[in-house]
């Protein structure tokens, strides 16, 4: 997968998670590890509103995964098609935000979009790539750094992408949080713009190969 596209998708995921957590009821729609923990906390504490939100996010993410894998595997230029669909879903979320659609609808749409993204990055980048969570990415990055210190032959090339994904995810979250504070209408537009840019970069890079 084209490196710049990976960073753009990670940036979008960070923005989506910040938006969903800060403004849609403290739920994650990209990071399902965190969302499952929140789901367990909601069950344990009896907080039904959080339980419903986390459940909707998990179901939406799974639906997006299923649709993404089907499209990526069965349609010509499937990865590009999935990214286009993701942009459309995120644009719908932004429009719903402006129209004051109920939070659960926005949570569901955001989660579907992140499921689509996770499917296409897994299909195109292999099992070691994710743009919606970074636990495995940080683990791999630590392994690369230790290998370099120990005289490995990596030369730093394997460090750039995982480090860039971590930084991009944090940057996307930071920008979305800042937008919510300074100019709220811009916050839901960050993710669709980032995914559109990543998709363009991906198609452009693929055409050169």
Summarised one tens digit per residue, pLDDT across range 47-73 is 887 889 999 999 999 999 999 999 988
Q: How confident is the model at residue 150 (pLDDT cuts 50, 70, 90)?
A: low
Burial of residue 127 (number of CB atoms within 10 Å: 0-12, 13-18, 19+): exposed
**Which pLDDT score, from 0 to 100, does residue 161 have?**
79
Read off the pLDDT of each residue in 170-196 and give the average, rounded to a whole number: 97
**pLDDT mean across residues, the chain:** 87
Residue 112 near residue 63 (C-beta atoms within 8 A): yes
CB neighbours (10 Å) of residue 204?
A: 12
Q: How confident is the model at residue 155 (pLDDT cuts 50, 70, 90)?
A: very low
Read off the pLDDT of each residue in 153-160 and give the average, rounded to a whole number: 59
pTM (predicted TM-score):
0.89
- The token pair at 119 is 């499917």
To the nearest 10 degrees (0 to 180), the angle between helices 3-23 and 157-182 is: 30
How many residues in total does the chain contain?
A: 209
Torsion angle, CA of 165/167/169/171, rounded to 10 degrees? -150
**Which pLDDT score, from 0 to 100, does residue 84 have?**
95
**Which pLDDT score, from 0 to 100, does residue 203 have?**
82
Distances (CA, A) of 90 to 21, 109, 117, 133, 205: 16, 7, 11, 18, 23
């Amino acid at each position: 997968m084209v490196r710049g596209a990976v960073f753009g998708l990670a940036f979008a995921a960070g923005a989506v998670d910040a938006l969903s957590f800060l403004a849609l009821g403290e739920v994650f729609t990209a990071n399902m590890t965190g969302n499952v923990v929140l789901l367990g906390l909601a069950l344990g504490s009896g907080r039904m509103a959080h339980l419903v939100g986390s459940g909707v996010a998990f179901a939406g993410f799974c639906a997006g995964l299923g649709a993404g894998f089907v499209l990526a595997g069965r349609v010509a230029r499937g990865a590009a098609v999935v990214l286009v669909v993701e942009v459309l879903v995120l644009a719908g979320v932004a429009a719903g935000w402006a129209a004051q659609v109920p939070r659960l609808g926005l949570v569901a749409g955001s989660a579907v979009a992140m499921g689509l993204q996770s499917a296409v990055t897994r299909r195109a980048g292999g099992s070691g790539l994710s743009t919606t969570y970074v636990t495995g990415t940080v683990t791999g990055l630590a392994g690369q750094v230790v290998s370099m210190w120990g005289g490995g032959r990596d030369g730093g090339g394997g460090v750039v992408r995982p480090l860039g994904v971590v930084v991009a995810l944090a940057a996307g979250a930071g920008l979305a949080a800042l937008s919510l504070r300074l100019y709220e209408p811009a916050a839901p537009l960050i993710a669709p713009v980032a995914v559109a840019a990543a998709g363009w970069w991906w198609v452009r890079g693929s055409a050169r190969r």
